Amino acid sequence: MISGFDLDDFVNRVLAEDLGASGDVTSAATISADARFAAKLEAREPIVVAGLDIAAAFFEDLDPDAEIERLVRDGDHAETGAVLMRLNGNARAMLAAERSALNTLQHLSGIATLTRCYVDSIAGTGATLLDTRKTIPGLRALEKYAALMGGAQNHRMRLDDGVLIKDNHVAVAGGVAAAVRSAKAAGTGLEVQVEVDSIDQIEEALEAGADRLLLDNMDVPTLRRAVDLVGGRVPLEASGGVKLETIRAIAGTGVDYISVGRITQSAPAVDIGMDYALQ
């Protein structure tokens, strides 16, 4: 389902964290072992859905016979009041899985929803939104999947799937050109992208063989100058402090990509509830 993601392991770890050694003692004390529970998962605000199958996996893990009906798909927009999923299963199992399922679905849908806002803001400009590695440790595959469902394109997943020379690499290597030449000579087979934070570094990076430039924390007039100077020789990515209020203007400079850490790092969870439903 998601590359590099072990669903069974994730479900087991999250349920173990929530159930503890004795399980859901409240449900065990108040509900008979054979009681049934029918419910619906409902959006309580407009959202973009992400993680629905993962949420379902928590219920299915605790009750393999549960009846689960998915009414939307990941990537769909859902308005307030939209029913995302209906389920019917053992009451103790459904209630024990509720918080793990909702936490995951709310978090991932929050990322997808915020991502879609950014994507919509640059629609028609030709620029592509990228995510970053600014993710919660252990949740990168899920959070980048959610960004993808929101309409972003995934950037590096790990440190081994792309060469990105940043300011600290440049400082240690002795300059932009030295860092780029070393990276090209390493023969990784990967394109070499280098971060530049001033116009003066651009020609130096290109002459050394950079395949792509990351324009770091440049204002809109400087980004326009950079785009004109490069003249389409390599793809350009704008990054650093990008906000929903500023991304349209950044896209209008002519850069090819805009990377935004906020979509994974700062996305608020959306409001999704699970309520008892009469059959």
Question: Alpha carbon of 176 to those of 29, 230, 240, 253: distances in Å?
Answer: 65, 16, 19, 24
Contacts of 164 (CB under 8 A, 6+ apart): 156, 193, 194, 195, 214
For the chain, 279 residues long, give each residue's pLDDT as a single digit of tens.
Answer: 687 799 999 999 999 999 999 999 999 999 999 999 999 999 999 999 999 999 999 999 999 999 999 999 999 999 999 999 999 999 999 999 999 999 999 999 999 999 999 999 999 999 999 999 999 999 999 999 999 999 999 999 999 999 999 999 999 999 999 999 999 999 999 999 999 999 999 999 999 999 999 999 999 999 999 999 999 999 999 999 999 999 999 999 999 999 999 999 999 999 999 998 755
- The reply to whether 68 and 160 lie within a common domain is no
The predicted structure's pLDDT at residue 275 = 93
Q: Which DSSP string corresponds to 227-249? A: HHHHTTSS-EEEESS--TTTHHH
Total domains present in the chain: 2
- The reply to whether 16 and 73 lie within a common domain is yes
* Single-letter code of the amino acid located at 254: G
Q: Max Cα separation, the chain?
A: 73
Length of the chain: 279
Instruction: Tell me the CATH number at 38.
Output: 3.90.1170.20
Are the C-beta atoms of residues 273 and 44 closer than 8 Å to each other? yes
The predicted structure's pLDDT at residue 170 = 95
- The reply to whether 88 and 164 lie within a common domain is no
Instruction: Tell me the CATH number at 245.
Output: 3.20.20.70
The predicted structure's pLDDT at residue 82 = 98
Backbone angles phi, psi at 265, to 5 degrees: -80, -30
Are the C-beta atoms of residues 265 and 28 closer than 8 Å to each other? no
Are the C-beta atoms of residues 238 and 255 closer than 8 Å to each other? yes
Question: Alpha carbon of 181 to those of 216, 228, 279: distances in Å?
Answer: 20, 24, 67
- The reply to whether 14 and 108 lie within a common domain is yes
Are the C-beta atoms of residues 180 and 192 closer than 8 Å to each other? yes
**How remote is the C-alpha of 33 from its chain's centroid?**
39
- The reply to whether 248 and 206 lie within a common domain is yes
Q: What Rg value do the Cα atoms of the chain yield, rounded? A: 23
Q: Which residues are catalytic?
A: 99, 134, 166, 195, 216
Residue 248: which domain range?
153-259
Q: Does the residue 2 lie in any domain?
A: no
Q: Does the residue 118 lie in any domain?
A: no
- The reply to whether 272 and 238 lie within a common domain is no
